[in-house]
Structure 1
Amino acid sequence: MINEQDLESATGTTITTVFTVKALDLAGNDCGHPILSFLDDARFIDEAAANPSLSVLLVSQELAAATGEAVGDQVSIIVVDDPRWHFYTLHNFLAERNPSETEPTVIAPDARVHPSAHVAPFGVRIGSGATIEANATVLASSRIGDGAVIRAGAVIGTSGFEHKRTSRGVLSVVHDGETRIGPRAEVGSLTVVGRGFQRRHTIVGADSRLDCNVMIAHGSQLGERVFVAAGAVLAGSTEIGDDVWIGPGATLIDRVTVGAGARVGIGSVVFRAVDAGMQVLGNPARATTR
């Protein structure tokens, strides 16, 4: 649980409002439990007011009156000079206390780890029969499934591109999730699989195949038997169903979904959801016949 003492310790700001929440999240995300969030843009006041999970809201002095009127007594309003900085500084404070990074790494006795590979000494699990090839890097909070293969030069569990402009300068946001490579999945040479972010793990499902030079950004979740060809980029929190094919050089924007059995053609740029079984091609990607 998170309370006002955590916020004080993280930011150095005196907090007189007493509260307890389960998590931090964006103001519009209804996650089913009490959250603390921030608001620094009037466009999102109505979205925040409609969120039953919102319990505590960090706001600027300029937005305090309008926000308080919109959310009513159900939400505690805390006025701070820079809500974005306070929110992500608190996030970093909590993320850096992640207990999984202090647990010694465990490598199955029959796993094959090349002498030139780097495996973090804490927070990694490598399963039975897994292979980690030359110059691969496996960072903390990574889980490599039984029989999985990490090809030469791949990087598993790196922090993603998440930086915030604040009144106090650029704030880089600590990643706090896991990176899970499923059983018998293969990650190609020089491919990067980002670490999970804001409690959403990055997942590459069982028997999936990632080609060389693929980018899987933080929080993306791939189902089973997903094939991703060379040069493809999956931005943060994409959701890919089972048995999907993603062609060479394709780009999928953050939070886009692709249904089971769909095909994304070479060089396509996917801005909108792709239904199960659909084939799309082009920029922007549009449905085509098989």
Structure 2
Amino acid sequence: MRITNETIKEGAGILLKESVGFEFLGPLDNNLSNTLGFIEDEKYLANLSSNKNISGVFVTKELSLKITDRTTTKIICDEPRYYFYLLFNYLAKKNYKKKPSLIHPSATIHPSAFISDYNVQIGENVVIGPHVAILSDVIVGNNCVVKAGTVLGCDDAEEKRTSRGLLHIFHDGMLIIGDQTEIGANCTIDKGFSYKNTVIGNGTKIANTAYIAHSVHVGNGCLICACKICGSAVIHDNVRINPGAVIKDQITVGEGAVVSIGSVVVRSVPANQKVTGNFAIEHKKFIYEHAKRMIDP
């Protein structure tokens, strides 16, 4: 949906004098041409000037004076973050479409399970256990198993703090689960946004009580054991994350990596590395440091 003066007036309540037109709404690192973003701190001026895809920004009057590029449209407002996300919510809700859910006749669904009557697709030979809730905007691939009490397709707590209070961001994306994936009991997996869905790869096993937040990408053949994975983290193929671990948002765990039990991972993990501890470090280094403390406390 093209973003025009009328769109900005209806969605953000801002009346512009000059005529504008944008194709996309997104952050300053967006790679889509003719994007409208926002900037609220001068430390991001370099990001703005280096990304030619950003054609306009919500910006304060004071900060607008430091944007010297004459081609950038400046939409002056007192709180750029608030108006940007207000417009995001407006567009997301306006573009959101409902389609009847599709359940393959070979699927086995327990009578106590709840499945949204719109925007759900369930593939061949899927087994849905007791008291499972599959909310809208979820695709479950072929030959999957979802065990008792699991909830798929939740909104996450994506709240933007503004001077006007917390602004909840509408989740307009999907949760896409690949083929031959098994999800244990009492798990929660959130759906994503239109610009970044939540994706669970083929053949991945998710053990009981795991939590996977919005826009997380989990690869193929992973073993996710009773842990928490925060928003927009990327878990590559054949990763094992052991019980009690917490994975920070927006980091990457490389292919074949292992996260030890109870670890708190706050930075990206290279492929085939094992990490341990709070905060997690390379496993052998953790063992060495621990032994050193035991000998020389």
Is the TM-score greater than 0.5?
Answer: yes
CA distance in 1 between partners of 2:277 and 2:91 (Å): 42
CA distance in 1 between partners of 2:272 and 2:177 (Å): 24
Could you tell me the percent identity over the aligned residues? 33
Check 1:93–1:254 CA distance in 2 against 1; reply closer, same or farther (3 A cut): same
Shift of 1:83: 1.2
Q: Does 1:85 align with 2:86?
A: no
Work out which of the residue numbers 206, 213, 233 in structure 2 matches 1:210: 206
CA deviation profile, 1:210-246 (whole Å, cap 9, x unmatched): 111111110000110110111x111111111111000
Tell which structure's C-alpha radius of gyration is larger: 2
Note if contact 2:3-2:24 (Cα within 8 Å) is conserved in structure 1: no
Note if contact 1:225-1:243 (Cα within 8 Å) is conserved in structure 2: yes
1:54-203 counterparts in 2 under 5 A?
Answer: 54-66=54-66, 68-69=67-68, 72-100=69-97, 102-203=98-199
Work out which of the residue numbers 220, 223, 227 in structure 2 matches 1:224: 220
CA distance in 1 between partners of 2:25 and 2:32 (Å): 12
Amino acid in structure 2 at the alignment position of 1:287: E
CA distance in 2 between partners of 1:125 and 1:81 (Å): 43
Amino acid in structure 1 at the alignment position of 2:120: V
Note if contact 1:256-1:271 (Cα within 8 Å) is conserved in structure 2: yes
SS in 2 for 1:171: strand
SS in 2 for 1:157: strand
- Paired residues, what number? 284
Counterpart of 2:23 in structure 1 is 22
Shift of 1:11: 2.0
Amino acid in structure 2 at the alignment position of 1:154: T
Shift of 1:198: 4.8
Which stretch has the larger CA shift, 263-272 or 46-55? Answer: 46-55
TM-score, normalised with respect to structure 1: 0.93
Amino acid in structure 2 at the alignment position of 1:275: P
Q: Does 1:250 align with 2:274?
A: no
Amino acid in structure 1 at the alignment position of 2:254: G
Note if contact 1:3-1:18 (Cα within 8 Å) is conserved in structure 2: no
CA distance in 1 between partners of 2:113 and 2:95 (Å): 24
Check 1:97–1:114 CA distance in 2 against 1; reply closer, same or farther (3 A cut): farther
Note if contact 1:153-1:191 (Cα within 8 Å) is conserved in structure 2: yes
Q: What stretches of structure 2 of length at least 5 have no aligned partner?
A: 288-297
SS in 1 for 2:81: helix
Note if contact 2:264-2:280 (Cα within 8 Å) is conserved in structure 1: yes
TM-score, normalised with respect to structure 2: 0.91
Counterpart of 2:294 in structure 1 is none
CA distance in 2 between partners of 1:258 and 1:199 (Å): 21
CA deviation profile, 1:58-85 (whole Å, cap 9, x unmatched): 011221211x22xx02311110122111
Counterpart of 1:44 in structure 2 is 44
Q: What stretches of structure 1 of length at least 5 have no aligned partner?
A: none
Counterpart of 2:290 in structure 1 is none
